[in-house]
Amino acid sequence: MPVIRWAFLCDYACVDAAGKASIIGTFEYINVSKLPQRWPQLYVAMEMQTTGAESFELSAQISSPSGKEASKRIVIPFKTNPGDQKTHKGFVTFAFFSTLFEEEGEYHIMLFLDGTPIHFIPLYVRLRPKPQQRQT
């Protein structure tokens, strides 16, 4: 069974050809000046460990504080070689683009294993109106 070793919410994440992960701008909250608000991009970056021959799907989806789907579910299928008994670690990213946030509060980036929820990462959307300029 795969194990999530760590997971971050960030502005950008990638992995190079040698398997080295780069994670830029980790965060747990977003300040918006109005709602609804489209957020250009956010990534879930995580390290996963598998042992032996396994086939599974890992997926992620954002849900709103009221339980509505705020994104489509992103699905990544995995399959290790039959007869492989080694332990493998790998870097996985989920990219969400142009996500619409319609309400203030705690969103959940839900992580699923074969369609079953296994973990969530909280994301707080806070309404912080721009300060009004003083008139003289």
pTM equals 0.86
Q: Residue 118: what pLDDT?
A: 92
Q: Residue 77: what pLDDT?
A: 92
Q: How many whole angstroms separate alpha carbon 25 and alpha carbon 111?
A: 20
Q: Residue 2: what pLDDT?
A: 83
- Tokens 């509505």 belong to residue: 68
Q: Residue 17: what pLDDT?
A: 87
Please list the ranges in the chain whose pLDDT falls under 50: none
Domain definitions of the chain by residue range: 3-47+59-127
Q: Residue 55: what pLDDT?
A: 87
Q: Residue 108: what pLDDT?
A: 97
CATH number of 3-47+59-127: 2.60.40
Q: Residue 79: what pLDDT?
A: 81
